[in-house]
Structure 1
Amino acid sequence: MARTLPLTLPGSLLLSDMDGPGAYSGVEHVCMDVSPKGDRYLLTRIRQISAGRKEGMCAHLISRFRPDGGLAGRLVLHLSRGVGERETLGGLPTTIDDLCVLPDGSLALTAAQGEVFLVDAELRGTIGSWGGDRSTSWDEWDVSEHLRGGFATLIRTTPAGRLLCVVPEREAGGMGTRPNLIGLAEDPLTAEERPTVRIIKALVVPGDGPFTGKWVADEGSPRLPHTIHDGAPAGPGNRPTPSLLTEVRDRGCGGVWSLSPRRADFHYEAYRVLAEDRFVIPLFESPRPDRWSSYSYALIDDRGTLIGELESPGRGDSSPIPGEHYAVVTDPARGRAYHVNHSGLYMWDADGRLLARLPTTEKAYKGLRHLKPMACAPDGTLILIRPEHGLMLDIEIPDDLADLGPVVAEALADHNRRRNRLKKEWKPVDWRWVENEAPLTHL
């Protein structure tokens, strides 16, 4: 059974004069996580400029969908108005890059520099945060203070309630940070308590391997008090070796032998928990990668051991890089991983073996080209979105993989029919589905 729903936007936030010359409207559905009860939390960014550039609006918000697909409420994380010099009207002091549903049902919203903001499950507001002092301007920031006071760039929960974390370090030769240390926290993250993260792997270790570039700094970078490796806080001089980048290169996984720390890109949407002791860690060439660039969806265990990778879709016409189809989603309860790019849908088992591939060269699966996987529901349903049309598609994955092809083909056909019906009912402008009934809370 398939289900297609519109990803509606709150009309009270949107600009009205959007039909004339110069008008611009951009909507990005960044990421999604699903609670054990089946509630879906979607992070969305909206940017609009009205006709004639008279008005401008930028908003970041979280929408909560009940298991039946109904919209339960929204929380506005950031709102600003104006063109050029925008006036911030409220919200968080930084851009949120990712979200995670914690074992207690609350949300952890994370930023690139390691700040974490905790939000209650009902989206009523923030209940705590971890980060550095924001009383100074960006160019006066104490990067080390933010690293010591923050928690993680990215968090994922395991089936047993542990937290898989990617912790940032100071960027080499810069004022910013880089996600680098991968670890596990056994205890809960709360407003009062920041658990210790046991570091099991580093993406890059300066001087490790035949690399000339540096991803993170050794000089002027702090040890991180909420982490531990070899009995001491992790950081410069105390990181797991060899790095994941070196191991992947030496094993020839995905042909990434050509990667260097200066060219290893970070993709939130592909860091996943595949089992209690098995995690997907992506490595992609950058900058300016193309379909022949190297990449790997590496698999590590909870001790940091590289145990393999998801059998690569390949490079060239099968590469996920054209169109930036980097996302992987997982169903830990069933030990499955999914990926969709312009060449088709891929499914793997917990050992990284390819179980199925549905190619878009076949007419029945051509519609996969337009879809992006976002998450898996507790019952195994694969949740995808169609970004350019603002639609969400649920596909119930069958237990018998022999039925996968027919189920997906029928879901895609039903999606097209439902999309056309919704368009007639809602009459959206530029595929913007607008509503004003769901509760809307501002920070």
Structure 2
Amino acid sequence: MTPTTPHTPPFVLPAGLLAAHRVDLTLAADWWRFEPCHAVATQAGETYTLSRVWRSRFRAGTGATDPGERGFDYRMITRFAPDGTPTATAVFGQQHADGAASAITTGQGESLAVLPDGTVAYCANPASTHLMAPDLSRVLASWSMPGEFETDAGPGDPYAASIAVTPAGRLLCMTSEYRIAPWHGAHPNLVAVSEPGAVLAPGSKPPLRAIASFRADTGRQTDADLYPHVRFDGAPVGRDNRPSPTLTEVVSRHAVCAPDYAEGRMHRPAALADDLFVVPVFGKIYRSGNRGRDFAFVLVDDRGAVRGRLEGLHRIGESPFTGHDFTVVGDPHRGRAFHLNRYGLFAWTADGRMRCRIPTSEKPFTALTKFELLDCTPAGELLLAHGQQNLLLRVPVPEDLATLPDAVAGALTAYARGRSALKKQYDPVNWHWVDNSAAVHRL
């Protein structure tokens, strides 16, 4: 599929939701915020965006029954046609303004995936997965896992904290475990894949084969902490039955401060092929002074073998910790990986060699410091979100990565033109884009 012309669809807010809660867009300090979270696209060019809007529960009138005085916290998924027109928005996450309950539980580290049959999957930490119809009109299936501080809620019925789909339809997942020291509750700790042909659908919860474990401090685990859908060597992952060595052990061998990994985290894995994946691993995050901390983008194949890492990032001069930019995205159709942080946009081939470095210190690329890298589309486009202007930028990536700077410069120019056109169409207030044309589904 040939990359499309860059366009800048907005992360929209449904007009009805704002009206129900009497949100005044002109009041920037009205204890409410809007945040773009993630975006994915289909082979046909449709785009789904995920965003969050919330108002502080500590504002005056929180205990009132009037929705206009209450705090709220919603997630929104909007479907865009290939030309950038919003066609539907799903609103969920808490009791709705009219008192109706939400069918979806939310969490941290949220992301979207489009499954091979067009179903939309919403995932959140620690390992909750909800499937929605492609038109966002209804929830098809749900698997939920209680979070870190919900230790009395039981083990739940989880699936994955994140899903990436390979070209052959395999599911690359990050899943969670209970009672991994030093954490309480459940935390992402496993990378696992489905077998070819497996289908995640209502009534079908395909098993996942664990290929990597971040930590193995399992002294507090019990049989109740094992889940039958995540397996290793033919049995559920738990205690000592897990891939070895752990990612913590692998990256600590060359770390400047290996103990930091003992309290570190791994981020959402990305697919570089049907059988090759990259797992971002980061050391402990402190309250301040994190620049220069250890990190690694580890290459792991579908048998669990470590195949190296994405090379070339300077631990201090190009540190992801500066802006907490921890996302690596993959283009499994072409075997490429990408990362954006405050210092540059970087591109690698599947062998781990860096093929392009675009410093954000140079014009016109200084504008990239305002963007967050979200995903890579099947057409080979990077999806970036502007965190202040709440717009999505699509960057078609050329076959020759050496010419990526020209493509990014062209996309930024197109972004400015598209933003001007959208301002005439939406008349935004404080960069909030209110839509009253798309169908709204309360889930």
Q: TM-score range by the shorter chain?
A: 0.7 to 0.9
Pairing partner for 2:40 from 33, 37, 44 = 33
Deviation at 1:80, TM superposition (A): 4.4
Deviation at 1:44, TM superposition (A): 1.0
> Which residue does 1:367 correspond to in 2?
367
Q: Does 2:188 align with 1:190?
A: no
The aligned amino acid for 2:202 is: A
Once residues 379 and 180 of structure 1 are traced to their aligned partners in structure 2, the CA distance between those partners, rounded to angstroms, is 31
| Shift in alpha-carbon separation, 1:185–1:412, aligned structure 2, 3 A | same
Whether the aligned pair in 2 keeps the contact of 1:23 and 1:53 (CA below 8 Å) is no
- Structure 1 outlier segments of 4+, above 6 Å: none
The aligned amino acid for 1:100 is: A
> Which residue does 1:7 correspond to in 2?
11
| Shift in alpha-carbon separation, 1:317–1:75, aligned structure 2, 3 A | same
Instruction: Between 289-298 and 13-22, report the one with greater CA deviation.
Output: 13-22
Segments of structure 1 that go 5 or more residues without pairing to the other structure are: 207-213
Deviation at 1:132, TM superposition (A): 6.6
Once residues 100 and 151 of structure 2 are traced to their aligned partners in structure 1, the CA distance between those partners, rounded to angstroms, is 22
TM-score (norm 1): 0.87
Q: How does 1:299-318 map to 2 (within 5 A)?
A: 299-318=299-318
SS in 2 for 1:225: coil
Once residues 391 and 183 of structure 2 are traced to their aligned partners in structure 1, the CA distance between those partners, rounded to angstroms, is 39
Once residues 370 and 352 of structure 1 are traced to their aligned partners in structure 2, the CA distance between those partners, rounded to angstroms, is 27
Q: Does 2:177 align with 1:166?
A: no
Deviation at 1:402, TM superposition (A): 4.0
Cα offsets for 1:255-308 (capped at 9, x unmatched): 5634333x212433xx21111111111111223261111111111000111111
Greater share of helix: 1
| Shift in alpha-carbon separation, 1:18–1:379, aligned structure 2, 3 A | closer
Q: How does 1:111-126 map to 2 (within 5 A)?
A: 111-126=124-139
> Which residue does 1:150 correspond to in 2?
158
Whether the aligned pair in 1 keeps the contact of 2:132 and 2:140 (CA below 8 Å) is yes
| Shift in alpha-carbon separation, 1:19–1:53, aligned structure 2, 3 A | farther
Deviation at 1:99, TM superposition (A): 2.3
Q: RMSD over aligned Cα, in angstroms?
A: 2.7
Whether the aligned pair in 2 keeps the contact of 1:60 and 1:76 (CA below 8 Å) is yes
The aligned amino acid for 1:189 is: L
TM-score (norm 2): 0.87
Deviation at 1:389, TM superposition (A): 0.5
Whether the aligned pair in 2 keeps the contact of 1:360 and 1:367 (CA below 8 Å) is yes
Instruction: Between 354-363 and 406-415, report the one with greater CA deviation.
Output: 406-415
> Which residue does 1:48 correspond to in 2?
55
How many pairs are equivalent?
420
SS in 2 for 1:279: strand
> Which residue does 2:276 correspond to in 1?
278
| Shift in alpha-carbon separation, 1:304–1:89, aligned structure 2, 3 A | same
> Which residue does 1:69 correspond to in 2?
84
> Which residue does 1:378 correspond to in 2?
378
Once residues 230 and 27 of structure 2 are traced to their aligned partners in structure 1, the CA distance between those partners, rounded to angstroms, is 53
SS in 2 for 1:434: strand
Q: Does 2:260 align with 1:259?
A: yes
Deviation at 1:173, TM superposition (A): 6.4
Whether the aligned pair in 1 keeps the contact of 2:12 and 2:432 (CA below 8 Å) is yes
> Which residue does 2:120 correspond to in 1?
107
Whether the aligned pair in 1 keeps the contact of 2:190 and 2:212 (CA below 8 Å) is yes
Deviation at 1:12, TM superposition (A): 1.1
Q: Does 2:222 align with 1:222?
A: no
Once residues 113 and 21 of structure 1 are traced to their aligned partners in structure 2, the CA distance between those partners, rounded to angstroms, is 32
> Which residue does 2:244 correspond to in 1?
241
Deviation at 1:52, TM superposition (A): 7.5
Whether the aligned pair in 2 keeps the contact of 1:339 and 1:345 (CA below 8 Å) is yes
Cα offsets for 1:239-267 (capped at 9, x unmatched): 121111101222x2x75634333x21243
Deviation at 1:429, TM superposition (A): 1.5
Deviation at 1:67, TM superposition (A): 2.2
